Amino acid sequence: MRLLLQQRPDGHEAPRFVQLMLQPDLFGGWELVRETGQQGARSSLRREQYPDQAAALAAIEKARDAQLKKGFQLMFASGFDGPR
């Protein structure tokens, strides 16, 4: 599952982006990977572990909603059924 959110460019600097990805780990849990940064520049990567898929889905939905409130727009979604 992958979501890409981006802020609308203001003309002065490159837009910021947030990419959220869910993936199973090797131990039966799930991992939320957050990549944030400015297009064309360095980005930062953060990983969060969750014991099951339901907890990971709740975390990615919460992260998505927080970014939407900050003015980011959903640009791409793969493997996601949408809001519950």
Task: Give pLDDT tens digits for 65-82.
Answer: 999 999 999 999 998 665
Distance of CA 40 to the CA centre of its chain: 18
Q: What is the pLDDT of residue 30?
A: 97
User: Which is nearest to 29 in space by CA: 55, 47, 7?
Assistant: 55
pLDDT tens digits, one per residue of 5-62: 999 877 777 889 999 999 999 999 999 999 999 988 899 999 999 999 999 999 999 9
pLDDT of residue 56: 96
Give the whole-angstrom CA distance, residue 37 versus residue 51: 27
How confident is the model at residue 8, as a pLDDT? 80
